[in-house]
Amino acid sequence: MNKHVYRDIFRYHEETKHRFDRYARSPGFMDWQNQPNPFRFYGNKNIIYLPLLKNNPEAAYMDLYRRQNNTPKPFILEHIAGFLELSLGLSAWKAVSGSKWSLRINPSSGNLHPTEAYLVIPPMGTIQAGVYHYNPLIHALEPRIRVPAETWDLLLKYFETNGFLVGLSSIFWRESWKYGERAFRYCNHDVGHALAALSFSANLWGWKMTFLNSLSDDDVEKILGFDRTGWKRLEQEDPDLLCFVHSHQHQKVCRGLPEDIISAFSDLAVEGKPNILSKENTDWEIIYQTSRLTRKPATPEVHIDAGKRPFFATSEISLTAAEIIRQRRSATDFNSEKSIPKGHFLAMLDKTIARDDCAPFDIQLMEPSVNLLLFVHNVESLDQGLYFFLRHQADLDEMRPIFHPDFPWKQVQKGFPLYLLKRGNFRHDAIEVSCHQEIAGYSAFSLGMITKFRNIIKKEAYRYRHLFWETGMIGQILYLEAEAHGARGTGIGCFFDDAVHDIMGFKDNTWQSLYHFTVGVPIEDPRLTTYPAYHHLQRT
């Protein structure tokens, strides 16, 4: 790889680090006049309004991970609607003193939601095969490309099984409007959250998602029609990925698409015109430059063997999978007096380990590259202190020498990859390094996602984005795990990067902390009124 490419990516990363003496460049104020519309519309006439679920699927929470109980359902519109409702749909509306805003099943930094979703679906009754945009506000599909039956047949023949494609894209402007240059990072975290949310939801219909990891971003753009859409400058959608959704019983799925299918799509006309999101936009140039540098080329198909590992035994979860998915929220305040049981803490960490045939990591993104630095504040039967959790145990030998030499690396429990680095009260340190946010220190525990960095990006620049996706996926697991265990979580994108590295003793960018998270017993904000997700629609 040209060394300017990775140098420029490292430069972006350095320049968008928050530091004690200066935050990454951002507007520094809220330009309410130009607040971007969080919903994309294409203004089509032939919108397909999707049915809302009458009843939640009955799957148990653990069925999000273990697949043997999940009976594959047919790929009909009603089921696809449910799959979207429980992954990217609205989850509620909140209101306080005259202002009202929607929340979604998937979280997003600042609730700005830069991630958009597209489906490529087969013909279903009166619905033609095609590329459709999912609009979560009206829970509807907007037609973008009509796909002729013979092109769909090519796809079916290629995959040798029924299914459909789901694609994600990012509108950087939605995040940069508030967060400036650091926004590119947040957009990619959000992709990871959305990806995990989709992968979990697929299980409720007995389906599984496979990431088409050999496709180039150019190919994704051609299939979704972005290359022939008239975007407003700075409001364009950047292609992130395409996944194939199929029965979980169908194991051998290709990870790319042949040239004839891609070129068949690239000749098809697009419908609809993207809505304008803001009157005026600011050009945070380094974001678009980094996006170009990290565009994915076509690559050989990758198959990752994550291995099998039993789950850490935990108490029965009484809520169903769908109930937990629907009630996921970010905590805004924690009760620092309240602890969580050690068994719950270990079970949450354990779920973040990638396993074969287990959502969400069996979408097959990449080799696990993220381990967890933990600030344990209030976990029963566990000393307060700094801990390290190895999601990828093979990293131990590489990591130990780059940490402070006086850390004892004392394993907490035989067979469980959790190590004590230092006893003590780290509430203040956690708050300080998290841009002084109290949620990082008044919780039961918070953590930094420590990611193998320099060598991965030097080898393949596009992996810069995938590393953020992996951390977002871990965040989504933690959100659901927290709810399942009677706690609540919050993603933390705002932290002082190098202050975190100093805690561990890192001297360079071999590993970097990319995303933080906090879990504890929440304190609800009594000022907020909550409304049901789709109370604004006259539809069942």
Ligand X SMILES: Cc1cc2nc3c(=O)[nH]c(=O)nc-3n(C[C@H](O)[C@H](O)[C@H](O)COP(=O)(O)O)c2cc1C
Query: Which residues of the shown chain bind ligand X in the complex (CB under 6 A)?
Result: 103-104, 107-111, 186, 189-190, 193, 329-330, 437, 439, 490-494
Cβ at position 302, least distance to ligand X in Å = 25
Q: Per DSSP, which regions of 214-339 are E strands? A: 238-247
Rg (CA), the chain: 22
d(CA 213, CA 255): 5
Residue closer to ligand X by CB (options 382, 450) is 450
Cβ at position 356, least distance to ligand X in Å = 27
d(CA 388, CA 19): 23
Residue closer to ligand X by CB (options 314, 437) is 437
d(CA 380, CA 384): 9
d(CA 434, CA 446): 10
Residue closer to ligand X by CB (options 131, 439) is 439
Distances from the Cα of 191 to the Cα of 35, 175, 393, 469, 471, angstroms: 21, 13, 26, 6, 10
Cis omega (within 30 of 0) for bond into 360:
yes
Cβ at position 258, least distance to ligand X in Å = 35
Cβ at position 484, least distance to ligand X in Å = 16
Number of residues that make up the chain = 540
Residue closer to ligand X by CB (options 400, 436) is 436
Which secondary-structure segment (H or E) carries 342? helix 342-351
CB atoms within 10 A of CB 101: 11
Inter-residue contact 425 to 384 (CB < 8 Å): yes
Token pair of 189 as six digits: 């975290």
Cβ at position 438, least distance to ligand X in Å = 10
Cβ at position 88, least distance to ligand X in Å = 12
Cβ at position 144, least distance to ligand X in Å = 26
Residue closer to ligand X by CB (options 101, 409) is 101
Residue type, 377: H
> Alpha carbon 416 to chain centroid distance?
26
Cβ at position 334, least distance to ligand X in Å = 11
Residue closer to ligand X by CB (options 155, 500) is 500
Residue closer to ligand X by CB (options 155, 430) is 430
Output the CA angle 76-67-200, nearest 5 degrees.
65
Which secondary-structure segment (H or E) carries 198? helix 183-203
Residue closer to ligand X by CB (options 185, 246) is 185
Residue type, 317: I
Residue closer to ligand X by CB (options 80, 191) is 191
Inter-residue contact 377 to 443 (CB < 8 Å): yes
Cβ at position 518, least distance to ligand X in Å = 9
Instruction: Calculate helix-pair angle for 183-203, 463-484, nearest 10 degrees.
Output: 50
